[in-house]
Amino acid sequence: MAGKGLEGVVVGQSRLSDINGEVGELIYAGYDIDDLARNTTFEEVCYLLWNGELPNREQLDGFKRELAANARLSDEMLAVLRTLPRDADPMAALRTAVSALGTFDPKADEITDAEVRRKALYLTAVTPTLVAAYDRLRNGNEPLQPKEGKSVASNFLYMLNGEEPNDTRCRTMDVALVLHAEHAMNASTFAARVTAGTLSDVYSCITSAIGTLKGPSHGGANVEVMNMLREIDESGQDPAAWVHGALEGGKKVMGFGHRVYRATDPRATVLRELADKIMAEAGETRWLDLSDKIRAAMADEMEKRGKKIYPNVDFFSASVYTTLGIPMDLFTAVFAIARTPGWTAHLLEQYADNRLIRPSSEYVGPRGKKVVPIDQR
C-alpha cells in the first residue's frame, strides 16, 4: 500500500535527475549538481535538461540567441499585466500571466516534440521578464525589457532593480538558478506531468506547476526562513535561545530537513559559499552571521536529542535573494523561473511516452446507507 502523500511510490521513469537522499547527492542527467553549479551556467543547464548533454561553444551561442529572441514581452502581455491588482500575490500574477500566454499562441494546443521544445524555450526566456515586469508595475515603475547579449540571470536582476548587476551578483543569481532548475518528481513537476498526461497543452501544464509551487509546503519555505531571520533579528534574542525555545515549543525551525534528504542538501553547500562572497562584497553580513549562529545552535540541539538534521537549500537562498535586492514575496517566483526548464524537460518525456496518470484510491467511507425521502430528513 502506498504511503501517505504517495511516499515511496515510483510513478515513472526519467533521465533528467536523481536524488540520493541518504548521502546528499543530486545529479542532472548524469552530472553532479556541485560540478554543474561551479562549472556551468543556467543556459548550459537548460540545454542539458532538454538535450541530455551539455552544449559545445557553437551550440551554446546559438541557444543564447534563441533565448534572447524570446525574452521580450509583447504589448498584449504587458497590457495583461497592467490589469492585475498591484497587491496580488506575485505567484498568482505569474500563474495568470503564463495562462494568458497560451491564449496568444496560435499553436498552443500542438504538442509535437518540436512545438513542446519551442514553448519550453519561450517560457524559460520570458518568465523572468514577466516576474520583473509585474514587480515594477506594482511599485509604480515602467517595466524594462531585457538587454541583448546578457545572461538570463543578469537580465533578471537588471529588469528587477533597474541597474546592471556586477559579476559577483550576476554569478550568484546564475548559480541559484542552476541549483533550482530540476529536482526529480517533486510536487509541482508531478502536477505538470499529470496535466500533460491528459494531453493538455504546455501552457496549462506549466500553469498547473506554478499553482502547485505556490503552496507554502512546496515553494514558500525560503520565505519562512527569511521571516524567521527577521523575527530573531528584530527581537534581539540570542539565536541559540530562540532555537531552543522553538524546539521545546514544538515549533519547526525553517530551512532544516527535507522530504528526500537525510544528509546535507548538496545545494546548500554551494549557496553558503556564494552567500559569503556576495554579502562580504555588499558589506552586509548580518543575515549570514545570524544564519550561521542558527545552524550551530541546531547542530547542538540535535546532538542533545540524538538526531541529525541539516540545512536545506532554502536556508541560505533566503538571505542570498535578500542581498540581491529581491523582495521576499518574489522568492517563490524566482523558484519558478529556475524550475521552468526542469518542468518543460519533464513534459518532453511525458508527451514522448504518454499514458494518462490515473492512480487508484482506497475507499474508507461508509456503506449500505439508504436514502430517506427529503420530507423525512
Please write the tens of the pLDDT for every residue from 27-54.
Answer: 999 999 999 999 999 999 999 999 999 9
CATH of the domain at 48: 1.10.580.10
Q: Choose the catalytic residue: 34, 105, 109, 218.
A: 218
- Residue of 180, 183, 258, 346 marked active site: 258
pLDDT, residue 154, reads: 98
Catalytic-role residue among 135, 183, 314, 346:
314
Task: Report the relative pairing of strands 31-32 and 17-20 from DSSP bridges.
Answer: unpaired
Query: Region 142-164: what's the mean pLDDT?
Result: 97
Could you list the residue range(s) of the whole structural domain that residue 71 is in?
Answer: 14-216+328-352
Quick one: which of 50, 45, 118, 55 has its CA closest to 346?
Answer: 50
Statement to judge: residues 206 and 176 lie in one domain: yes
Specify the pLDDT at position 2.
Answer: 60
314 in active site: yes
Kindly state whether residues 28 and 142 are assigned to the same domain: yes
Q: Of 13-22, 30-39, 125-134, which range is least confident?
A: 13-22
Span 195-207, average pLDDT: 98
241 within a domain of the structure (yes/no) = yes
The winner for highest mean pLDDT among 265-269, 350-354, 361-365 is 350-354
Alpha-carbon distance values, 116 to 77, 113, 349 (Å): 21, 5, 10
- Residue 26, strand partner residues: 19
Instruction: Based on the residue annotation, tell me whether 218 is a catalytic residue of this protein.
Output: yes
Helix (H) or strand (E) holding 128: helix 113-138
Q: What is the identity of the amino acid at 339? A: R
Mean pLDDT across 335-344: 98
pLDDT at 3: 65
Identify the weakest region by mean pLDDT among 8-12, 53-57, 151-155: 8-12
At 102-111, the pLDDT tens digits run: 999 999 999 9
Same domain, 306 and 333: no
Single-letter code of the amino acid located at 340: T
Answer yes or no: do 208 and 253 share one domain.
no
* Strand residues in the chain grouped as ranges (E): 17-20, 25-28, 31-32
